């Protein structure tokens, strides 16, 4: 194997080629002939390991072999981390495939797999050269990861067709300018939706993506259940349970609707009537509300985002498994024996912090996974003409004292999720403000 920098991500070693495309900002300079390794996706790969461990442990995928494919594998590190960082009794069931158009990437991934095999020696890794849209259809997959450069839409239909009767689908989207409404024509062309470019644009973008996946799944008599939805750096990522079910897929419309910014009183009442927000006084109106798909809206109304997913974006039991202890146990190492890395103890501590940062607040948010309200504290203060934004933790404390659920959100702006009525949120905001 050529000499190149040996790098550690999580608990897995990878040797980088001298000319490897190492792009921390995303796919803009991706070269089809180079081996692509993106350190900005390290957190996504860490979460994928923890998620796979929980799903296997839960029994959702049965008790026999698990066929998983990393559909646009690049360096192949995601699948290699599955095999290396899962406990041996789970990894031994895994039949992982790395698929990519670039033969150089597959060759380099397999050389890394041979040089740095799973520590426990379990599991199988197979390369497959070709386009995911054709390479994936030869069997029913239990786990499909779609992580493209840009929009995942060209791959969704085939990926869903390829799934077993019960399966996990993970989808990344790096075309955030489109999904968050900054590139309106691309958003409408690729996703058939509109998104208001406000503080919740990334949440709306994930919901638009979920709506597209749900519609595609329903067309193949399948239903989706989001179990984890993350905005991280330059990409959005959703993880879902997918089941073969004509009955449930026919209920698709119940989970689709609209998000309205600066809603009018009649829109708030319609949202309450549809049970999309808890009953509340309308003396003060909320910053946003959801409306069912059947509610008439004007597509020219700049307050409207959608159509989008209005159901839960995560599953409590899954999110609760993202503990610090689990992350450290699975995805960190000290490599005290051997001199493969020229890392100092400080370097290992920095990698450990990256791992922990990638799961920050997910466990806390598990208790409010079914709560509809995502409140950005900066926007809340401004909306209510308050002086300084309140501490999210203070708001959570006050809301809980009122008997409602609240927790920090894994969102890249200070925020929390809650099931409290809007008038209770306003009351707690007034209490949270420091005395003049």
Query: What CATH number did the domain enclosing 420 receive?
Result: 3.30.56.70
* DSSP secondary structure, 369-421, as one string: TT--EEEEHHHHHHHTT-SSPPPHHHHHHHHHHTT--EEE-SSSSSEEEE---
Burial of 338 per CB tally in 10 Å (0-12, 13-18, 19+):
exposed
- Per-residue pLDDT band for 434 (boundaries 50, 70, 90) equals low
Q: SS3 for 170-238, per residue?
A: EEEECCHHHHCCCCHHHHHHHHCCECCCCCCHHHHHHHHHHHHHHHHHHHCCEEEEEEEEEEECCEEEE
Per-residue pLDDT, 63: 95
Q: What is the pLDDT of residues 170-204, one digit of tens each?
A: 999 999 999 999 999 999 999 999 999 999 999 99
Percentage of residues in the chain having pLDDT higher than 70: 94
Domain that holds residue 428: 373-436
Q: Examine residue 225 and state whether it is found in any structural domain, yes or no.
A: no
Per-residue pLDDT, 56: 98
Instruction: Please say if the pLDDT value at position 143 is more than 70.
Output: yes
Distance between CA atoms of 313 and 203, rounded to whole angstroms?
10
Taking alpha carbons only, the member of 431, 205, 202 closest to residue 307 is: 205
DSSP 8-state symbol, 106? H
Highest mean pLDDT range out of 201-205, 250-254, 331-335, 385-389?
201-205
Q: Provide the domain count of the chain.
A: 1
Burial of 387 per CB tally in 10 Å (0-12, 13-18, 19+):
exposed
Q: What is the pLDDT of residues 245-256, one digit of tens each?
A: 887 767 899 999
Distance between CA atoms of 11 and 334, rounded to whole angstroms?
8
Instruction: Please say if the pLDDT value at position 207 is more than 70.
Output: yes
> Which pairing describes strands 94-100 and 141-146: parallel, antiparallel, or unpaired?
unpaired
Distance between CA atoms of 191 and 307, rounded to whole angstroms?
9
Q: What is the pLDDT of residues 65-83, one digit of tens each?
A: 999 999 999 999 999 999 9
Q: Examine residue 426 and state whether it is found in any structural domain, yes or no.
A: yes
Please, are residues 294 and 256 in contact by the beta-carbon 8 Å criterion? no
Q: Is 105 helix (H, G, I), strand (E, B) or coil?
A: helix
Q: Examine residue 251 and state whether it is found in any structural domain, yes or no.
A: no
Taking alpha carbons only, the member of 213, 206, 214, 208 closest to residue 230 is: 206
Q: Examine residue 143 and state whether it is found in any structural domain, yes or no.
A: no
Please, are residues 263 and 277 in contact by the beta-carbon 8 Å criterion? no
Per-residue pLDDT, 64: 96
Distance between CA atoms of 132 and 74, rounded to whole angstroms?
12
Q: What is the pLDDT of residues 340-356, one digit of tens each?
A: 677 888 989 999 999 99
Per-residue pLDDT, 72: 92
Q: Examine residue 197 and state whether it is found in any structural domain, yes or no.
A: no
Per-residue pLDDT, 20: 54
Q: Examine residue 429 and state whether it is found in any structural domain, yes or no.
A: yes
Q: Examine residue 384 and state whether it is found in any structural domain, yes or no.
A: yes
DSSP 8-state symbol, 241? E
Q: Examine residue 425 and state whether it is found in any structural domain, yes or no.
A: yes
Report CA Rg, the chain: 22
Residue 357, both tokens: 């940062």
Per-residue pLDDT, 29: 46
Per-residue pLDDT, 35: 83
Per-residue pLDDT, 245: 85
Per-residue pLDDT, 89: 97
């Amino acid at each position: 194997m050529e000499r190149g920098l040996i790098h550690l991500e999580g608990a897995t070693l990878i040797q980088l080629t001298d000319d490897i495309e190492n792009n921390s900002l995303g796919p803009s300079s991706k070269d089809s002939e180079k081996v692509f390794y993106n350190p900005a996706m390290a957190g996504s790969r860490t979460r994928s390991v923890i998620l796979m461990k929980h799903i296997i442990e839960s029994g959702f995928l049965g008790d026999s072999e698990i066929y998983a494919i990393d559909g646009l594998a690049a360096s192949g590190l995601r699948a290699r981390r599955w095999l290396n960082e899962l406990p041996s009794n789970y990894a031994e069931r895994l039949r992982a495939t790395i698929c990519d158009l670039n033969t150089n990437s597959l060759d380099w991934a397999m050389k890394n797999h041979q040089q740095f095999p799973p520590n426990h020696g379990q599991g199988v890794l197979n390369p497959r050269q070709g386009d995911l849209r054709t390479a994936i259809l030869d069997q029913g997959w239990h786990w499909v990861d779609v992580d493209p450069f840009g929009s995942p839409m060209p791959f969704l239909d085939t990926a869903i067709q390829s799934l077993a009767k019960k399966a996990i689908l993970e989808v990344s989207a790096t075309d955030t300018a489109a999904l968050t409404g900054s590139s309106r024509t691309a958003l409408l062309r690729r996703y058939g939706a509109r998104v208001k470019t406000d503080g919740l644009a990334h949440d709306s973008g994930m919901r638009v993506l979920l709506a597209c996946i749900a519609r595609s799944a329903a067309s193949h008599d399948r239903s989706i259940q989001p179990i984890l939805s993350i905005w991280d750096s330059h990409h959005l990522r959703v993880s879902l349970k997918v089941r073969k079910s004509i009955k449930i897929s026919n209920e698709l419309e119940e989970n689709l609707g609209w998000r309205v910014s600066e809603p009018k009183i009649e829109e708030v009442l319609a949202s309450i009537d549809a049970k999309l927000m808890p009953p509340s006084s309308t003396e003060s109106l909320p910053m946003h509300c959801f409306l069912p798909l059947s509610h008439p809206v004007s597509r020219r109304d700049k307050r409207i985002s959608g159509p989008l997913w209005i159901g839960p974006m995560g599953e409590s039991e899954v999110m609760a498994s993202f503990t610090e202890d689990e992350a450290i146990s699975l995805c960190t190492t000290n490599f005290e024996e051997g001199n493969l890395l020229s890392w100092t103890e400080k370097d290992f501590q920095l990698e450990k912090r990256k791992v922990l940062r990638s799961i920050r607040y997910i466990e806390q948010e598990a208790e409010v996974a079914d709560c509809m309200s995502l409140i950005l504290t900066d926007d809340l203060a401004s909306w209510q003409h308050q002086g300084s934004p309140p501490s999210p933790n203070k708001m959570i404390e006050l809301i809980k004292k009122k008997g409602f659920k609240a927790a920090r959100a894994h969102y890249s702006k200070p925020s929390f999720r809650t099931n409290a009525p809007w008038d209770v949120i306003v009351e707690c905001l007034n209490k949270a403000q420091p005395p003049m």
